[in-house]
Chain A
Amino acid sequence: MVLDLTMSMAILALLGALATIAGCLEDLESDVGSQSNPNSQVQLAPQMGFLHRIYNKAISGEPISNGMSAVTGGTVTAVLLNAKFYAVTAIAIGALVAALLYGIYATTSYAGRVASQSRFKQPLYMDIMRYTTPSIIAHNFIVNFCLVSIAYIQYAVLGYPFSIPFLALIWGISVGAIGSSVGDVHYGGEREFQNREFGCGLNTALSGRIVRKAESGLRNSIDNVWFCAKFGGPATGIGLGLTVFFSSWPTTIWGYTWKAMGAGVIILVVMIIMNRLLEISVKNAYGPYKEDKEEKEAGAVAH
């Protein structure tokens, strides 16, 4: 469908907003359920003698589990749209079915993972399962709703050649890849190891020694999502939002031409410069970990 420029930009802004919400909630869902790479520490902790009350699901890698969830939502939505349901109703029901299915996977993988650690005396806390699983389902529902909405808009309004389930699958895989790369670092690199000095880097010898005490009482996954919602989640949202917005923005403005490709290259150069500025500011703010040998010797001679 050919839209005028104003309408195209409005749709693009809507897609960007939906992607930002989806990215943010995807990361928070992976924090509340403990999934992907940081979960290796949660899995390792009982083996090091650190028993904990953190949910431990890790159905699979984030891209695959989110792709599965999104494609399920997209498929149910496509079926309901075929049965003349309203779009929003169809998307909501599709997202709910996928989220419930995801909840089943979360429950079985939590129980299965803890059961496999019985020799390390890690208990399976039923209260953790009761409190946390609905939160996982709720987060996943919002992710599915946003991703299937993006897929629906791209298919029905913008006329992309792929079907709703396939587009939802691709966005599910992408949101998982971004969530795993961005927000998980906040959970794995900071939240799990808050008992060391901020910015000291994480020595591999600390592996498995995760923090088990919360601001009040014993730490659980709800405490983790509370912390990660302050930075890790929103940063992931920005990552996916920028991806959705800037992957289509040049062609929306300049059409399908080499000029649009040139604009895209400029966007990439700006991002490279931003990363460089960030690198400079961080190095200046924190300084090196070790003093340079030559500088040390020069300093000793001067004294």
Chain B
Amino acid sequence: MVLLDPTTLIDIALIGLSGALICLAVHFIPVGGAPAAMAQATGIGTGTVELAAGSGLVGLITSSYMYAYEPTATMGLVMASGALGAAVMLASTMLAGGFIYAYGVGVPFASAQVKKDPITGQRQDNYVSKGTQGQGIPTICFVSGVVGSALGGAGGGLIYYVLMQYYSPLISTSAAAVAGVFTMGVFYVNSVIPSYGVGGTIEGVHDPKFRRVVPKDVFTSIVVSMLCGIVAILIAGGMT
């Protein structure tokens, strides 16, 4: 009963925690979906899964390189590396997207969920165009997105670290491939779960939807990610 070994149980719990981090990350990211692509809603103009997975996977690349070239790297450093890669990806995307909203579409940035930006204190409601749910990426959304993507990248780094610790002694050369593909799978699973909760769009941490759906979504993600963790441990049974 390899699953009852305390080390294995800790590994499964850590994968559950990673899933929770990724799920939480999706709620922080200002996802505007299709309406934002037409500047009809605040946030980034694409879907939750695309953004969370796109940024998290860049974090996976940076954390895997960190793990490969710094054998003494601590779990914290691998997670920080993943967080950095993911946050840089999302910040670059939001900044470039902001240029389009500002100069390509010609709309001021405004949140439709709050009257004043909690960070800058600037009025938002009178900048919202008629018939829309806000547009562009105001400061609170940008900061929320950076924090969220960093959480997602850290979660991805943690799964990769845990799986590499587990697989490396069994299949040294192919461990990175299996751990990488598995991490990608867990990313997608945990990006899809919050999509149901947020219903396609969320502005970030200041959105009333955030408080309403986070507890349920995070709990679901922990349970599902731990199941993924059990599968990850079980497939190691055939590795020699």
Contact = CB atoms under 8 A, between A and B. Distances in A.
Interface in B70-120: 70, 73, 77, 80-81, 84-85, 87-89, 91-109, 120
Interface stretch (A102-110, A111-119, A131-139, A237-245): A237-245
Given A246-B88, A279-B136, A201 B33 contact: no
A118 B212 CA distance: 43
Contacts of B80: 258, 261
B190 interface: no
Nearest to A286: B108
Chain A, interface SS category: helix
Contact of A202 (B44, B132, B146): B132
Given A189-B38, A202-B39, A279-B136, A181 B51 contact: yes
Contacts of B34: 37, 40
Chain B, interface SS category: helix
B126 interface: yes
Interface size class of A (residues with CB under 8 A): 35 or more
A202 B62 contact: no
Contact of A177 (B54, B66, B109): B54
Interface size class of B (residues with CB under 8 A): 35 or more
Interface stretch (A74-82, A83-91, A141-149, A266-274): A266-274
Nearest to A273: B139
B18 interface: no
Given A161-B176, A185-B45, A278 B64 contact: no
A293 to B, nearest CB: 9
Contact of A243 (B38, B70, B88, B131): B88
A163 B81 CA distance: 20
A261 B54 contact: no
A78 B219 CA distance: 41
B104 A186 contact: yes
Contacts of A192: 38
Contact of A289 (B57, B129, B180, B184): B129
Contact of A178 (B54, B61, B68, B73): B54
B239 to A, nearest CB: 17
Contacts of A215: none
A261 B97 contact: no
A165 to B, nearest CB: 10
Contact of A274 (B38, B50, B95): B95
Contacts of B73: 256
B195 to A, nearest CB: 12
Interface of A: 36-38, 40-41, 61-63, 154, 158-163, 166-167, 170, 173-174, 176-178, 180-186, 188-190, 192-193, 198-205, 207, 231-232, 235-236, 238-240, 242-243, 246-248, 250-251, 256-258, 260-261, 264-265, 267-268, 271-272, 274-276, 278-279, 281-283, 286-292
Given A181-B94, A235-B97, 4 more contacts: A199-B105, A243-B93, A274-B95, A279-B108
27 contacts: A63-B50, A159-B69, A160-B61, A160-B65, A162-B180, A167-B61, A174-B55, A177-B46, A182-B100, A186-B104, A202-B131, A203-B130, A207-B38, A231-B104, A235-B99, A246-B88, A247-B89, A251-B81, A261-B80, A264-B84, A276-B139, A279-B108, A279-B136, A283-B108, A283-B122, A286-B108, A289-B130
